[in-house]
């Protein structure tokens, strides 16, 4: 693959991605009592656009107790803006739609797993004195796959996770071309 080819990732436009079973565990650290704990992290992305090495769309993340048998809270939705270099390096900013939400940055690499492209990502975020670290292979899903209707670890679908999401958009539609 040529390092100058920015069209390699054109297929990312209007795609959906999620966390598979082996990658659901995330590590949490509470600074107030110096305690580590495990949590589950199901995250869904809808990459609504890609152009010239840039991606944009929405992300919806749901942290859950792995012992909860699918009982979960409401997902946290964020706008996502990122870059994917010609050789597959990834950086994504997850930007809260409320002024009190901090921006979370994820780093990763496009990789092939079982002949499918995956985003192999890692991130770190902090909230209320707690730090969460997570890495996962984000796998693509479509409406024809079982994961679309029942995401691993949580009792909800891709549309449930993204319901009400606020998508980033260009001020002038011609700028996205």
* pTM value surpassing 0.75: yes
pLDDT tens-place values along the chain, 177 residues long: 444 577 789 999 999 999 999 999 999 999 899 999 999 999 999 999 999 999 999 999 998 888 776 556 788 899 999 999 999 999 999 998 766 678 899 999 999 999 999 999 999 998 777 899 999 999 999 999 999 999 999 989 999 999 999 999 998 865 555
177, part of any domain: no
171, part of any domain: no
27, part of any domain: yes
Rounded Cα distance, 177 and 174, in Å: 6
Q: pLDDT tens digits, residue range 78-122?
A: 999 999 999 999 999 999 876 667 889 999 999 999 999 999 999
57, part of any domain: yes
Domain count, the chain: 1
Residue 174 pLDDT: 58
The residues, ordered by sequence, that sit 6+ positions from 101 with a Cβ below 8 Å of its Cβ are: 76, 78, 95
The answer to whether 104 and 125 are in contact (CB under 8 A) is: yes
Burial 133-163, CB ≥16 within 10 A → b, else e: ebbbbbbbbeeeeebeeebbbbebbbebbbe
175, part of any domain: no
Helices (H), 38-177: 146-149, 158-162
Q: Provide the residue range defining the domain that includes 138.
A: 10-163
Residue 23's domain is classified under what CATH number? 2.40.128
30, part of any domain: yes
Residue 135 pLDDT: 97
168, part of any domain: no
59, part of any domain: yes
């Amino acid at each position: 693959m040529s390092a100058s080819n920015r069209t390699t990732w054109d297929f990312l436009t209007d795609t959906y991605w999620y966390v598979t079973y082996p990658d659901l565990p995330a590590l949490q650290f509470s600074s107030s009592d110096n305690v580590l704990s495990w949590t589950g992290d199901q995250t869904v992305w809808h990459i609504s656009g890609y152009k010239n090495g840039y991606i944009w769309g929405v992300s919806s993340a749901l942290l859950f107790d792995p012992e909860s048998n699918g009982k979960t809270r409401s997902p946290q939705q964020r706008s996502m803006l990122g870059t994917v270099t010609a050789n597959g390096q990834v950086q994504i900013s997850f930007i809260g739609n409320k002024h009190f939400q901090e921006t979370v940055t994820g780093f990763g690499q496009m990789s092939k797993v079982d002949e499918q492209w995956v985003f192999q990502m890692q991130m770190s975020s902090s909230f209320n004195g707690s730090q969460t670290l997570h890495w996962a292979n984000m796998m693509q899903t479509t409406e024809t796959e079982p994961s679309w209707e029942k995401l691993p670890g949580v009792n909800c679908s891709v549309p449930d996770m993204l319901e009400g999401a606020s998508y980033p958009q260009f001020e002038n539609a011609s700028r996205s071309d």
